[in-house]
Amino acid sequence: MAKKKKQKQRVAFRKNREKRARQGDLTRDVEMAGEDSERSAEIADLPTGERLSGKGDLTRNRTVITEAGEDGELRIEVDESACSRGRVLMATGLNSVVQDKEGNKHECTVRRVVRTLAREARNAVVAGDWVLFQKLDDGFGVIERVEPRKSSLSRHSGRHEHVIVSNVDQIVIVTSAAEPPLKPSLIDRFIISAEKGETRALICINKADLIEPAGIQSILGLYGQLGYQTVLTSAETGAGMDRLRDFLKDRGSVFTGQSGVGKSSLLNAIQPGLVLDTGKVSSWSQKGKHTTRRAELIALESGGWVVDTPGIRQMSLWDVIPEEVQGYFVEFHPFVGYCRFPDCSHTHETDCRVKQAVEAGLISRARYLSYLRIVTGQELADV
């Protein structure tokens, strides 16, 4: 076996354990106090251990030894002989539940260096991660390293990447035919996030019992023609459940979508006995309430596993620049090369073949409007 190449890497740690620098000018306060005995006494009683100078919130650097894996990606060097490999079933804050190869579960915390190296992300460890961890007594442990993720579902959250789940085979985009109403533009954002995370997308339209099936066939046909798998279901009547089970069998899947579309209800129907919490949609706002609080891996009796995730009100794309969005709209591809300008954004330019295709009915107008909202930075406010 070839020897792993090691190297040193400087990592910036937040200096979050130092005493805060005093605000204000102490010398000026002493001079202004003068004969004011009360103010002079206050100054004399100030804590002597408080730092008087500096720039406030600083960072300190630490050298971390890393090694290159078989894929060439750098990772933290750990003593693998002292660690066990496991799968993260659930992660909340700094605590995770990890299952080892024997099927035993361990409550684990995360080593601080792991959190620091993941400073670009909102969370260092997520459900679905493969990790190396040290086993402690009484079913506890410490995560020493997170292995490279093969795929993921993530979104933009503040200035950070919010990874929802990792190492999945497919993303089941669950939406509802009614209550809450169907939002194709949200489906488009999930599709982009799926392809960005190198997973395939399956579109599941639930609550088919609330509408006439003919009313939704145009949406199913549109995405079907674009090459995406679709399924129409009803957790209430059981319609489409056998087809959905076939898609889930022997695969790792994540159920995602806005609140109230019936993700947990579908899983309860797929595998009776799960008894996942479900909630109703508000009659006046037509928005669902969060019933699932965290992402958790669930093994399926028919083979494979799924992750039920909390509802998402906004799907802001992570690490997707406007210039690359057109690449995720497959129906644009035949026309892009014939635009007048090579850097055409398909928004305002003249002689744009994509816009002409929309006018001619060759590209769905709803999909084109969804594209415009993404490239212009318009968020799906409160979807």
C-alpha 261: how far from chain center: 19
Give the model's pLDDT for residue 8.
Answer: 58
Which residue do the tokens 């644009």 mark?
A: 332
**Report for 91-95, 143-147, 313-317: range of highest mean pLDDT:** 143-147
Chain segment 355-367, per-residue pLDDT in tens: 999 999 999 999 9
Which residue do the tokens 């212009």 mark?
A: 376
Q: What percent of the chain has pLDDT over 90?
A: 49
- Here the tokens at position 321 are 């620049």
Residue 285 confidence class, pLDDT cut points 50, 70, 90: very low
Give the model's pLDDT for residue 79.
Answer: 85
| DSSP string across 305-320 | EEEE----S--PPSS-
Domain at 322-375, CATH from 1.10.1200.120, 2.60.40.1250, 1.10.40.50, 1.10.238.10: 1.10.40.50
Residues whose CB is less than 8 angstroms from the CB of residue 161 and which lie 6 or more positions away in sequence, other chains included? 120, 121, 122, 154, 155, 318, 319
Give the model's pLDDT for residue 119.
Answer: 62
Query: What mean pLDDT comes out for the span 254-263?
Result: 90
Give the model's pLDDT for residue 286.
Answer: 41
Give the model's pLDDT for residue 266.
Answer: 92
CB distance 270 to 181 below 8 Å? no
Give the model's pLDDT for residue 289.
Answer: 46
Residue 312 confidence class, pLDDT cut points 50, 70, 90: confident
Phi, then psi, of 109 in degrees rounded to 5: -100, 175
| DSSP string across 229-268 | EEEE--TTT-TTHHHHHHHHTTSEEEEE-STTS-HHHHHH
Give the model's pLDDT for residue 294.
Answer: 75
Which of 208, 192, 95, 108 shows the shortest CA–CA distance to 153?
Answer: 192
How far is residue 153 from each of residues 146, 172, 255, measured CA to CA in Å?
Answer: 16, 11, 11
Query: What mean pLDDT comes out for the span 71-90?
Result: 80
Give the model's pLDDT for residue 35.
Answer: 58
Which of 341, 314, 336 shows the shortest CA–CA distance to 325?
Answer: 336
Give the model's pLDDT for residue 4.
Answer: 58
Check whether 106 has a pLDDT greater than 90.
yes
Residue 50, number of CB atoms within 10 A of its CB: 11
Average pLDDT value for the chain: 81
Give the model's pLDDT for residue 68.
Answer: 53
* Element housing 44 (H / E): helix 37-44
Which residue do the tokens 């129906």 mark?
A: 331
Query: What mean pLDDT comes out for the span 335-355?
Result: 96
Which H, E and C letters describe 162-229, residue by residue?
EEEEECCCEEEEEEECCCCCCCHHHHHHHHHHHHHCCCEEEEEEECHHHCCHHHHHHHHHHHHHCCCE
Check whether 67 has a pLDDT greater than 70.
no
Residues whose CB is less than 8 angstroms from the CB of residue 313 and which lie 6 or more positions away in sequence, other chains included? 258, 259, 287, 382, 383
User: 373 versus 70: which is more confidently predicted?
Assistant: 373
Give the model's pLDDT for residue 52.
Answer: 52
Strand partners, 97: 90, 107
Chain segment 322-340, per-residue pLDDT in tens: 999 999 999 999 999 999 9
Give the model's pLDDT for residue 44.
Answer: 60
Check whether 15 has a pLDDT greater than 50.
no
Residue 74 confidence class, pLDDT cut points 50, 70, 90: low
Query: What mean pLDDT comes out for the span 6-14?
Result: 57
Give the model's pLDDT for residue 202.
Answer: 97
Burial class (CB within 10 angstroms; exposed 0-12, middle 13-18, buried 19+) of 333: exposed
Chain segment 21-66, per-residue pLDDT in tens: 555 555 666 566 565 666 566 656 655 555 555 444 455 555 555 5
Which of 163, 170, 151, 115 shows the shortest CA–CA distance to 318?
Answer: 163
Answer whether CATH 1.10.287.40 is correct for domain 163-308: no
**Domain with residues 76-148, CATH architecture:** Beta Barrel (2.40)
Which residue do the tokens 């361990």 mark?
A: 106
Chain segment 176-218, per-residue pLDDT in tens: 998 888 889 999 999 999 999 999 999 999 999 998 878 788 9
Residue 283 confidence class, pLDDT cut points 50, 70, 90: very low
27-31, 310-314, 326-330, 349-353: least confidently modelled range: 27-31
Q: Where are the domains of the chain?
A: 76-148, 163-308, 322-375
Query: What mean pLDDT comes out for the span 150-163?
Result: 87
| DSSP string across 89-133 | EEEETTEEEEEETTS-EEEEEE-HHHHHHTTTBS-S--TT-EEEE
How far is residue 57 from each of residues 18, 25, 72, 229, 236, measured CA to CA in Å?
Answer: 9, 18, 35, 50, 55
97-106, 116-125, 288-297: least confidently modelled range: 288-297
